[in-house]
Every structure is written in structure tokens, then in C-alpha cells.
A and B are shown apart, each in its own frame.
Chain A
Amino acid sequence: MIAIIRLLVFGFIALSVVYILVSIYSRSVRREKLEKAWDTDPAREGAATADRDAYIKAGMTAYEKGLRKRLIWLVYVIPMAVVMTTVYLVNYQ
């Protein structure tokens, strides 16, 4: 019984590390995309820095509520599904 608890604890820690790294990466990619979208738009040539900051802030708020951010939860879901499938295939087939 100890073994399965140990697996759950260490698995949770490992997946949390992955979750944190992936969310940082995903957020960073989104911010870069927003920055580039603003900087390459000819209509915004010479716009104020405050406007740019507001634009990026709005974009990031939208990201925090979006589907893409929620999809990162798959980091926890997929490995658990894989473990359950493995248990089924190895022991009950």
C-alpha cells in the first residue's frame, strides 16, 4: 500500500513541475506573440508605449481565461489515463 501512495505523491510532484514549466512557457509564447503583433502593425507605427502595454495586458487577461490555458491541465490528465490504460492492458487482458 505504501508503494502506491509513494507513486501518487512523487507522480503529483513531477507532474506539477511539468505543469508549472509548461504554463510559464505558454504564457511567454503568448506575450511574445502579442508584442510582435503590435510591433509589426503599420497602423500602430509611433503609438504610445502606454497603449502597447494596455494592449498586451488585455491580451494576457484574455489568455488567462481562454481555452489554451485550461488545456494545460492535460498534463495531469493524460499521464493518469496512460497509467490506467497500462494497468488494464497488463493485468486484465
Chain B
Amino acid sequence: MWRYIKWGFRITLLLIVAGFLHYTLPQHDIVRITNTYNRLTTVGENWIFYSAPDTGTAESTTTRDIRFIEAVFPDETVSVYRNEDTGWIWPPYFKYDSSNLQAEATNSKSTKEAPEWVSVTHYGWRFPLFSIYPNAVAVKSVAGPDVSIVPWVNIVVLTLLALGLFMLRRMWMQFRERAIDPVVASAGEAWDDVDATADAARDRAKGVFGRFMAWFGTWRGKGR
């Protein structure tokens, strides 16, 4: 029973962390840009998937022009990116050159007959149900539709994250070894005096919970 709850909790946590990283870390799409435009948009319940108005402009408006970039993958499936400043807010791309990026993207527009392939660096997801678009961060010309790009940023960020978790664990172990364990040890000695009382209390608790779990075990048809 507790095992299932524990594992369910762990898996949920893992999925949330993985989804968060997948949304936030940059990805590269090799596409052909077909159109760039602005659209007046009122951001509503899906606000969390939108960034801020351009850095330096007023920050309280909910209706604003958002720049979009339309593109086609080599296999003819389409992709639409928004092009917004992230400014000094999350995620930490510190992007405030959306206008310039839009100009570059417009400059890279090409037709099916004379395709010009570009790599669009972006983060985020395309989710038509909630009108969610990935945010384009950079547009770079590439040789052809088949180039592959090494995700250096992701490699570095994930390595640093793993290193940080490892250090946090080492720090916690050190803290426990030096600060908690000695206290617990001396407290344990002091507790020896009242051990009998504690034992009895523990037995009583075990009794109630043990009886409950035994009853629960009959539901599962598995001897305990």
C-alpha cells in the first residue's frame, strides 16, 4: 500500500521535473520560414505559457501585439513560434531583441521552390488546444534540411544540475554526520532512562496500525 503511494509520488515528481526541463531548455528545429506577422492577442488562462511585454514597455497590459513566425519542416508539417521578450523574468534567456529577431526571421523567408533552411532555437511547446506556442530565441541559417545540431546548452545545463544535486546531497550528508548524528546519539543515551515507557507506547501504536494493516491484507488475499 505505502509502496504504491511512495512510487506514485516519486513518478509524479519525476514527470513534473522532466516536463519542466523539457519546456524550459532550448531545442533546435530545422525549418523553412514561410511567414512572419503580428497578431493582437489577449492572454487569458494560458498566461503562464506566455512571456512578458517587450522589456521597457508597460507591464500591466493583457492585450498586446505578439510577433509570430510560421515555418515548415522538411516533411511539410508546420510549426508556429511566438517571438516574445523573456526580459529578466523566467525562463532565464534574458531575451530582449524580439524586434531584431523578427527582422532576421522575415529576412530568412523563402519559398518552396527556392528553400532557405534555418535552425530555429526555441523553448516551449506547441499546444493548439490552449493556443500555446514555443518561443523562438534565435534564427540561424544552416546548410540544408539534414544538418544535426549538438545541444551544447542542454548538455552543460543538465551536467551542472546533476553536479548541483550531488553537492547538495554531499552537504546534507556532511551536516547529518557532523551536526545531527552526535545529538541523536546523546539523546538516545538520555532516552535509555525512559525507554520502557517509549517501548510500551510504540508497541501500542504498532498494535493499532498492525491490526488495521492485517485487516487490509485480507482484502488483497495475501498473507502477511
> Which A residues are within 8 Å of any B CB, using their own CB?
1-4, 6-7, 21-22, 24-25, 28-29, 32, 83, 86-87, 90-93
Closest residue of chain A to B93 (Cβ to Cβ) is A90
User: Do residues A93 and B138 form an inter-chain contact, with CB atoms below 8 A?
Assistant: yes
13 interchain pairs, CB-CB under 8 A: A3-B59, A3-B88, A3-B89, A4-B87, A21-B171, A25-B171, A29-B174, A32-B174, A83-B92, A90-B94, A90-B95, A90-B97, A93-B138
> Is the beta-carbon distance between B175 and A28 smaller than 8 angstroms?
yes
How far in angstroms is the closest Cβ of chain B from A5?
Answer: 9
A interface, over-half SS: helix
Shortest B103–chain A CB gap in Å is 13
Is B52 close to A, CB under 8 A? Answer: yes
Interface residue ranges, B against A (CB under 8 Å) = 52, 55-56, 59, 87-89, 92-97, 100, 137-138, 170-171, 174-175, 178
> DSSP majority for the B interface?
loop
Least Cβ distance of A63 to chain B in Å? 15
Q: Would A83 and B59 be within 8 Å (CB), given that A3-B88, A21-B171, A90-B137 are in contact? A: no
Q: B92 to A86, Cβ gap below 8 A?
A: yes
